[in-house]
Structure 1
Amino acid sequence: MKVLVTGAAGFIGMHVTQRLLARGDEVVGLDNLNDYYDVSLKESRLELLQHQPGFRFVRLDVADREGIASLFAQHGFDMVVHLAAQAGVRYSLRNPHAYVDSNLVGFVNMLEGCRHHQVRHLVYASSSSVYGGNTKMPFAEGDAVDHPVSLYAATKKANELMAHTYSHLYGLPTTGLRFFTVYGPWGRPDMALFLFTKAILEQRPIEVYNFGQMQRDFTYVDDVADGVVRVLDRPASPDATFNAARPNPATSHAPYRVFNIGNRNPVPLLDFIGCIEQALGKTAEKRLLPLQDGDVLATYADVQALGDWVGAVPATPLEQGIASFVAWYRSYYRV
């Protein structure tokens, strides 16, 4: 297949692209290489991809309406994996317009490209953050997600609604994937695992929010990449059991699906830090701080629907995944 992967220089995008190339697909990777975090890390990811046959890189912003339209017209993609977005919950409190441009304007540009060029399936990144203030655990795709606690979460919820509209109006198969705290080698520098590892090695205190009383469903990046590709290979289809009188938000009469991708194992933050300490052979100095605006206390994924759909769910143990990240970090930064 010929696949467009947006955000190809990003953390998840690189891993998904590698998996597609390894099986022989042709991939056009799109990224704007913005400076939200260290651009050199994105360039290093790209360098790995550019040594693999079948890959072509295009530097372009998803918010560039004319550029995206031209890209779709030129290439005739079979499938699209849309991972490009302005990430980060806390950053959305300081720079909301970046989220509107990338996550809303950029997303409608993707939908229009797919609509006008007969793309067979659009898979896009949603987020566990859409569950917002929900307290029922585990989070299931059929739960209402009407109370986001950050603008980032609101844009991801909006993406799901926009995708459904295009599935309904134009028959475009769309699948949204709600990622749960993805971690692993080549991870983002703004994520807790990277921040904690860097600080501990530099003998600086780590900032632990809500005094450590939080839980996250940490999901290893290889499991996520595998899930993305498996979902891509099974385009969304109408749900024959869909009941408009009691609608399931994760399915539809249209070719539309939403799935969680998580490890089914919420880990206390202090246990997570303990795994990092074990992998590094060092003890962290902890600076305990209050809960930050936009944060949620816990995430926990129900992945039954994903398992039923593609026959596999994430399963990498946290200790194994953290050890792999630490090994990569030490090698990449030579520490």
Structure 2
Amino acid sequence: MQEKRVEILVTGGAGFIGSHLVEKLIQNNYAVTVIDNFDPFYSKEIKQKNISAFIDNPLVTFVEVDILDEEAFHQKLLGNYEVIVHLAAKAGVRPSIENPIAYQDVNVKGTQNLLEFARRKNIKQFVFASSSSVYGINKNFPWKESDAVLNPISPYASTKISGELLGHVYSHLFGIRFIALRFFTVFGPRQRPDLAIHLFSKKILNNEKITLFGNGSTRRDYTYVADTVQGIFNAIHYTRTPFEVFNLGNHHTVSLSEMITTIEDVLGKKAIIQHLPEQMGDVPITFADISKAEQLLNYMPKTNFKEGIVNFKNWLTAQ
């Protein structure tokens, strides 16, 4: 008798992290339903290219649907899903300051819609993409999941905290295991075009100015996409407790100046830099304590920053 294949629903599966996750899932013989609404935050063609390698795979079902459209959910999503991995969101700290209502709608109401879908369909495992931005201006480095006080400074960050809290409610009331993963500056092939590494690399290659906000001292805990995806994959199989929050970082910070120098070194070209004041909503540092994820998720990031930049450059120049 053939063993039943596990079905997983991945929201935002045509995006940067989502498309990498789908590839890993089908490599491990999971049936995957990918949903995406091709949000115009960046080009639909980029997302279509992201999914082109697996869109015809028999293990993959693609459904174009918006997470705010509850009726369409129930009409179009007919699989027997055992896990939801919720990556879909309005992304970006700075755009959320300009349009906070849209971020609240998609990131909070959309997450609630998915939790309701899980409740009605009796789906017992829910993995949620949270963000390091929830820590905000917390000065207790490195950041631990046990930090009781979060200090978000952008609407985007507040929506991610709201998603975590909704998950706790649904875990407590309805027995849905909810795993919130706080991502720390994910980078690598297919990175969104608005993010610094992608943006800077393109501009340096095209001899265009790059904009450096502040004095270059801000630091980020850059995490290579394959390491983040391994953390998500492990969270899909996590069963020890009904609700958990995990940092998925690299436990290593890189300054903005170091980031630019590394890109220059890998590309073999110098950047033309325009200096501007720091922007609202940006935090001075992100730095993950990953000991909890190491212990409970067997999470072990393997790719250092320069290796990741080399991989990104190879992808970018092959486009």
Question: 1:149: which partner in 2?
Answer: 153
Matching of residue 65 in structure 1 with residue 52 in structure 2:
no
Among 11, 15, 18, the residue aligned to 1:10: 15
Asked if the contact 2:143/2:288 (under 8 Å) is kept, the reply is yes
Amino acid in the other structure paired with 1:261: L
Question: 2:119: which partner in 1?
Answer: 115
Amino acid in the other structure paired with 1:276: I
SS in 1 for 2:13: coil
Among 20, 23, 48, the residue aligned to 2:53: 48
Matching of residue 38 in structure 1 with residue 32 in structure 2:
no
Aligned-partner Cα distance in 2 for 1:29–1:145: 35
Among 309, 318, 332, the residue aligned to 2:305: 318
Asked if the contact 1:187/1:194 (under 8 Å) is kept, the reply is yes
Among 93, 112, 121, the residue aligned to 1:89: 93
Asked if the contact 1:131/1:148 (under 8 Å) is kept, the reply is yes
How does the TM-score come out when normalised to structure 2?
0.96
**Offset, 1:25:** 0.3
**Offset, 1:272:** 0.9
Asked if the contact 2:20/2:226 (under 8 Å) is kept, the reply is yes
Aligned-partner Cα distance in 2 for 1:17–1:113: 21
How does the TM-score come out when normalised to structure 1?
0.92
**Offset, 1:147:** 1.9
Question: 2:31: which partner in 1?
Answer: 26
Asked if the contact 2:138/2:150 (under 8 Å) is kept, the reply is no
Aligned-partner Cα distance in 2 for 1:69–1:129: 32
Matches within 5 A, 1:226-265: 226-235=230-239, 237=241, 255-265=242-252
Unpaired runs of 5+ residues, structure 2, are 1-5
Question: 2:196: which partner in 1?
Answer: 192
**Offset, 1:67:** 1.6
Amino acid in the other structure paired with 1:321: G
**Offset, 1:312:** 2.5
SS in 2 for 1:50: coil
**Offset, 1:145:** 4.0
Moved more, 322-331 or 282-291: 282-291
Q: Please tell me the root mean square deviation across aligned C-alpha atoms, in Å.
A: 1.1
Unpaired runs of 5+ residues, structure 1, are 238-254
Aligned-partner Cα distance in 2 for 1:69–1:110: 11
Question: 2:286: which partner in 1?
Answer: 299
Asked if the contact 1:180/1:261 (under 8 Å) is kept, the reply is yes
Aligned-partner Cα distance in 2 for 1:156–1:134: 16
**Offset, 1:52:** 2.6
Matching of residue 171 in structure 1 with residue 175 in structure 2:
yes
Aligned-partner Cα distance in 2 for 1:278–1:52: 38
Matching of residue 127 in structure 1 with residue 114 in structure 2:
no
Question: 1:161: which partner in 2?
Answer: 165
Aligned-partner Cα distance in 2 for 1:8–1:236: 26
**Offset, 1:51:** 3.4
**Residue-pair matches, total:** 314
Aligned-partner Cα distance in 1 for 2:179–2:149: 17
**Offset, 1:208:** 1.0
**Offset, 1:66:** 1.3
